[in-house]
Amino acid sequence: MNPDPQVITDGQAMSVWADDVRSRGQRIGLIPTMGYLHEGHLALIDEARRHVDQVVVSIFVNPTQFGPKEDLARYPRDLSGDLRKIADRKAKIAFVPEPGEMYQPGHQTYVDVRGVSQGLCGGSRPGHFVGVATVVLKLFNIVRPHVSVFGEKDYQQLSVIRAMVADLNVPVKVLSLPTVREADGLALSSRNVYLLPDQRTRASALSQTIVAVRAQVAQGERRVDVLLVQASQLLSVAVDRLDYVEIRDAVTLLPLSLLDRPAVILVAAFFGSTRLIDNGRLDG
């Protein structure tokens, strides 16, 4: 059993630790999370360890990325379980700031990544990606990591982070990892804990729809509207409410009518009041 990671709650103490590591010539990896860790998060730690000497996992349920009617108050939390999992994966530092540490009185600066935030989750969760980009840039500035690893599970979020890093010349290398899934295809998510048994069964329709659309593409179908009709039909029998299903350019996230370049299908749907997302590449 590995000893628990050192927990740092203070931003300045976090920066001092990181400066010390850097001054010894070591490289730092940062995994930003909202906690309630699962194998998807832990795979990001494993990947970071392949590239750096020290891995910092941040655990922060970021209030600015939740809308007023969303699940901020009831978002699942299990700090002691998270610390045990982090230790098992040999990350040494958990950065666990309080909201008041990250957003001091008078906070007034936000990061607005425009193009790739349009539509999809940016459409149904106004302000969400401003909150995400702001907190991630703050975490980058506090920890100053060489590398940061994100999951492709949150495809639009990954695109937002990549755009921010490029546009604002942030000196960090962004890496990504494919989505880690349950045996039936359901993408691991901290929010899966909300699902009732019947909702959990139906939730596999998200990934199954992606697989079915991929099969149609493999058979030669290139028309996005045709692919989306099939996807909507499959989803409509399983979900309680479809938020969106769309096929977009995999790089720009702009809408497409024909699969003539690398593309991605993205879906968001409600099971009861639980909103889940998934996506998959469609590379023709």
Active site residues: 41
DSSP state of 3: P
Given the structure tokens 């699902």, which residue do they identify?
195
Q: Which member of 14, 21, 34, 121 binds ligand AMP (CB under 6 A)?
A: 34
| Residue 139 tokens, joined | 């975490």
Q: 83 or 187: whose CB is closer to ligand AMP?
A: 187
Query: 130: Cβ–Cβ under 8 A, 6 or more apart, which residues?
Result: 64, 65, 110, 111, 112, 117
Q: Which stretch binds ligand AMP (CB under 6 A): 103-111, 118-126, 150-158, 241-249?
A: 150-158
Nearer to ligand AMP, 156 or 199 (CB): 156
* Residue 189 engages ligand AMP in binding (rule: CB under 6 A): yes
Q: How far is the CB of 105 from ligand AMP (least distance, A)?
A: 25
Measured from the CB atom, the residue of 161 and 238 that comes closer to ligand AMP is 161
138 binds ligand AMP per the rule CB under 6 A:
no
Q: Counting contacts by CB under 6 A, is residue 150 touching ligand AMP?
A: yes
Nearest approach in angstroms of CB 39 to ligand AMP is: 7
Q: Which of 187, 205, 234, 250 binds ligand AMP (CB under 6 A)?
A: 187
Long-range Cβ contacts of 123-131 (<8 Å, 24+ apart):
123/244, 124/243, 124/244, 124/268, 125/67, 125/70, 126/67, 127/64, 127/65, 127/67, 128/65, 128/66, 128/67, 129/65, 129/156, 129/157, 129/160, 130/64, 130/65, 131/62, 131/63, 131/64, 131/65, 131/66
Q: How many CA atoms lie within 13 A of 214 on its CB side?
A: 15
Say whether residue 188 binds ligand AMP (CB under 6 A).
Answer: yes
Of these, 5, 18, 28, 33, which contacts ligand AMP (CB under 6 A)?
33
3-class DSSP state of 274: strand
User: How many residues are there in the chain?
Assistant: 284
Q: Does 278 bind ligand AMP (CB under 6 A)?
A: no
Any contact of residue 154 with ligand AMP (CB under 6 A)? yes
Task: Give the C-alpha separation, 102 to 105, whole Å.
Answer: 10
Residue with tokens 């593309």: 263
> Among 72, 177, 212, 242, which residue sits at the site for ligand AMP (rule: CB under 6 A)?
177
Q: Is there binding between residue 41 and ligand AMP (CB under 6 A)?
A: yes
Instruction: Specify the residue, 43 or 259, whose C-beta has the smaller distance to ligand AMP.
Output: 43
Residue 65 binds ligand AMP, judged by CB under 6 A: no
The number of CA neighbours under 13 Å toward the Cβ of 167 is: 14
Query: Which residues contribute to the site for ligand AMP (CB under 6 A)?
Result: 33-34, 40-41, 43-44, 150-151, 153-154, 177, 179-180, 187-190
